[in-house]
Amino acid sequence: MARMSRVTHHADITLRINEAEHRIQVDTRATLLDVLREQVGLTGSKKGCDHGQCGACTVLVGGRRANACLLLAVAQDGLDVTTIEGLADGDDLHPLQAAFIAHDAFQCGYCTPGQICSAVGMIAEADEGWPSAVTGDISSGPPVLDDDEIRERMSGNLCRCGAYATIVPAIAEVAR
| 110-162 pLDDT, tens digit each | 999 999 999 999 999 999 999 999 998 888 888 999 999 999 999 999 999 98
Dihedral over Cα of 49, 54, 59, 63: its sign: positive
Residues, the chain? 176
Of 3.40.50.1970, 3.30.70.100, 3.10.20.30, 3.40.120.10, the CATH number of 10-86 is 3.10.20.30
Within the chain, which residue ranges are assigned CATH 1.10.150.120? 95-175
Within the chain, which residue ranges are assigned CATH 3.10.20.30? 10-86
| 1-58 pLDDT, tens digit each | 556 656 679 999 999 999 999 999 999 999 999 999 999 999 999 999 999 999 999 9
| C-beta separation of 113 from 83 below 8 A | yes
Could you say which architecture CATH assigns to the domain 95-175? Orthogonal Bundle (1.10)
Helix (H, G, I), strand (E, B) or coil at 117: helix
* 162 Cα distance to chain centroid: 19
Question: Degrees (nearest 5) of the Cα angle 77, 81, 83?
Answer: 145
| 59-115 pLDDT, tens digit each | 999 999 999 999 999 999 999 999 999 999 999 999 999 999 999 998 899 999 999
Interhelix angle 95-102/112-127, nearest 10 degrees:
120
Can you list the alpha helix ranges (DSSP code H) found in 13-61?
32-34
DSSP-derived secondary structure letter, 26: E
| C-beta separation of 143 from 129 below 8 A | yes
String of b and e for 106-141 (b: at least 16 CB within 10 Å)? beeebbbbbbbbbbbbbbebbeeeeebeebeeeeee
Q: Model-level pTM greater than 0.75?
A: yes
